[in-house]
Structure 1
Amino acid sequence: MALPLSFLLALVVLSCKNTCSLGCDLPQIHSLDLETSEEKEGGALTLLKNMRRIPTFSCLNYRKDFSFPQEQLEGEQVQKAQAVAVLHEMTQQVFNLFSTQEAFAAWNKTLLDTFLSGLYQLLDDLKDCGSKQVGVEEAPLRAVRKYFHRITVYLKEKKYLPCAWEVVRAEIMKSFSSSANLYTRLRSME
């Protein structure tokens, strides 16, 4: 999960109730529990935490820095339209990663199904916002794709072993935190 982030399953965001100046209603993503709301059963972060099957300390030799593109997703580099596109891309990549046969072989199927259902709903909501955006710069999206490509290559190299999946699970939790930060910035751009 790599660079010190507060995130991955501070996954993609805080509750959103107002209309954003992007011209769309940002999705209600509180069900993903990307903030710190631990009371919710079934939030994305809670689900990812519950998916853990192996003590993290037993996988220390599997650790890897996937070089999350945090710098490209912070500051003024990501504008409003880009933020929606980046959130959509990150969510799509997490969905793709966890909807593979290898993922279903590695994780509790009930938790994984619930996790994927939440991501699918978020993707659908973000797609509605993203389809109204034009001229989105490709660099942040490319950085997110490369990041997830490194994760996919890592899993293949490690032959999808349980410790490799545990490292990836933790990394995704960190990326969710970054997504939550990006979403918070997006909401403040209203």
Structure 2
Amino acid sequence: MTSRCILQTALLVYFSTTVLAVNYDLLRFQLSSSSVECQNLLLQLNGTTKDCIKDRMNFKFPEEIEKPQQVQKEALLLVTLDIFQKTSDIFRKNLSSTGWNEIIVNNLLEKIHWQIEHLEEILEKIKEEENFTWDDRTLLPLKRYYLRIVRYLKAKVYSICAWKIVRAEMLRSFFFLDKFTNYLPN
């Protein structure tokens, strides 16, 4: 009787840890899908940058993010979360001058918000399971990048051309995010 109870307990512990473990394959798929959906929504926002050549700027996307194989695997999710959070912050700024379809912008923000909540839950699980502490130095170049974008928008007084340039830059960051997800741990 006791051995049967021990076996059941052992199986319960085994299956519960398997269920609680982060499924990186599923997460990789979800992040890639979200990134592509966000890119598609950004593309639906009207406006090309051809007529805004004088407003172009190189925001200097962090090299560390362009080369995800150089980022610690544990920090990949934190970087991914930060990209979604900062993009959301930017698109919550003064959009009145853009003339963009509010439904598309709201769909973009909803998609980003869902992904942020999902990633925060996963990161909490990882912190608990793996007793891992995050090193914020990985995020510093990314924070500076988004700060440059926000300062640019303010300096250009949220003009339509500034928003078109920022929209193109956000497309670029989602492209790197999509590439980034391939380097999540197995």
Task: Assess if the C-alpha contact under 8 Å between 1:68 and 1:147 holds in 2.
Answer: yes
Q: Secondary structure at the match of 1:171?
A: helix
**1:77-121: CA deviations, max 9, x gaps?**
312220000000010000111022x12552321000000000011
Structure 1 gaps, min length 5: 1-21, 35-42
- The 1-side partners of 2:84 and 2:68 are apart by 21
1:122 aligns with 2:115: yes
Q: Which residue of 2 aligns with 1:70?
A: 63
Alignment counterpart, residue 79 of structure 1, candidates 44, 56, 72: 72
Query: 1:160 — aligned with what?
Result: 158
Between the aligned residues of both structures, percent identity stands at 27
SS at match of 2:70: coil
**Which digits, 9 at most, give the CA deviation of each residue in 1:115-173, with x for residues without a partner?**
00000111011111222232222222111111000000000000000000000000000
Are the aligned partners of 2:34 and 2:111 in contact in 1 as well (CA < 8 Å)? yes
Deviation for aligned residue 1:32: 2.4
Q: What are the residue-to-residue correspondences of 1:39-118 with 2, within 5 Å?
A: 43-52=37-46, 54-72=47-65, 74-100=67-93, 102-103=94-95, 105-106=97-98, 107-118=100-111
Select the residue among 146, 149, 164 that pairs with 2:147.
149
Query: Which structure 2 segments of 5+ residues have no match?
Result: 1-19
Worse-matched range after superposition: 54-63 or 103-112:
103-112
The 3-state SS of whatever aligns with 1:45 is helix
> How many residues are treated as equivalent by the alignment?
157
* CA–CA distance in structure 2, aligned partners of residues 178 and 75 of structure 1: 9
Partners of 1:78 and 1:137 lie apart in 2 by: 11
**Partners of 1:178 and 1:72 in 2: CA distance:** 7
> Given the alignment of the two structures, is residue 32 of structure 1 paired with residue 34 of structure 2, yes or no?
yes
* Runs of 4 or more above 4 Å deviation: none
Task: Give me the TM-score of the superposition, normalised by structure 1.
Answer: 0.75
User: Structure 1 150/163 Cα, relative in aligned 2: closer, same or farther at 3 Å?
Assistant: same
Using structure 2 for the length normalisation, give the TM-score. Answer: 0.77
Kept in 2, the 8 Å contact 1:72–1:78? The answer is: yes
Q: Which amino acid aligns with 1:114?
A: N
Q: Which residue of 2 aligns with 1:39?
A: none
| Residue in structure 1 matched with residue 180 of structure 2 by the alignment | 182
RMSD: 2.0
Name whichever structure is richer in helix by fraction: 2
